[in-house]
Amino acid sequence: MIIITVKTHEYMLSSLRRHGYEVFYDPKITYEELASMISEAEGIVVSTRINIDQSILEKADKLKWIGRLGSGMELIDVKYAESRGIRCLNSPEGNRIAVAEHTLGMLLNLMNKISYSHNQIKQRIWQREENRGLELTGKTVGIIGYGNSGSALGALLKSFDTTVLAYDKYKFDFGKDYIKEANLEQVTRYSDVISFSVPLTEETFHMANDVFFNSLQRRPYFLNASRGKVVNLDHLVKALKENKIAGAGLDVLENEKLETYKKQDTDRLNWLLEQPNVIITPHIAGYSQEAFYKMGKVLLEKLGLE
């Protein structure tokens, strides 16, 4: 049996059934419900909703693989799973273009004040001079993390005649033409735009903090479509108030369960939403119609079930 705990394209369901698997499909399954039936599962497909920890894996006697639709593996105890011979796979190749295009869209929106001026017109306010935009062409863009999404964003920037300063602690010798390998200090010193494209790890947790924002030299636009906890949101607010950054485009937040917010969280979010130079979207960067299909297809290919 294969348990699928996340919304997925019909292509994945039909492919698994075509290979003779019984598929239990419940995108709303709870941790407790999964724990009660995982002993029968040969494979499970997950996303960012359920924590696949050691406790639940200890019950998974027949489990051969865990498939993550998308990229981040932080909710899976990969080390323990692999110690039990369970393969852990993800499919960042499936949604990297969607993430890159969404990130670029947020940036162009911010630089040209599109959403802000649109909302003004709803109020019958017509201001041209105040909404004069900036061109991306010729700017320097820093990309922190040059894996699937980071490199896809770098590729999109070619037509804008930008210089891309790419920093990746674990990747080297990828620079070519307008893509320049850089260290973090160079990214923070020379970039007009900085985009985070890193996984959430102990190293990247709150990587964008006071120290980071205080190191910025050119008041760049700040973008994050990777993981919410990469950014200390209080420090981001401080950076906006102190004019350290020109604006912020966020597709992810530290806590995306808005119904659990305390007053302090609500006040902070409301303040951000009121700013003319802030755009927040509901974790949809990697969730395009095409990515919805491709993430499943890539995962099936890696499992040899395509």
pLDDT digits (tens, 9 = 90+) for 157-192: 999 999 999 999 999 999 999 999 999 999 999 999
- 256 catalytic? Reply is yes
Residue tagged active-site, from 283, 290, 301, 306: 283
pLDDT score for 67: 97
pTM: 0.93
What letter would DSSP give residue 161? T
How, if at all, do strands 65-68 and 43-46 pair?
Answer: parallel
Residue tagged active-site, from 135, 256, 290, 306: 256
SS3 at position 142: strand
pLDDT score for 215: 98
- 227 catalytic? Reply is yes
> What are the pLDDT digits (tens) for 74-128?
999 999 999 999 999 999 999 999 999 999 999 999 999 999 999 999 999 999 9
pLDDT score for 306: 77
SS3 at position 133: coil
Domains of the chain by start residue, with CATH: 2-90 (3.40.50.720), 94-280 (3.40.50.720)
**Helical axes 233-241 vs 263-274, angle rounded to 10°:** 40
Find out whether 148 and 93 touch, Cβ atoms under 8 Å: yes
pLDDT score for 33: 97
Burial of 108 (0-12, 13-18, 19+ CB in 10 A): middle
Quote the Cα angle for 301-304-306, to 5°.
55
Residue 176 tokens read as 């070519």
Residue tagged active-site, from 68, 96, 102, 227: 227
Low-confidence ranges of the chain (pLDDT < 50): none
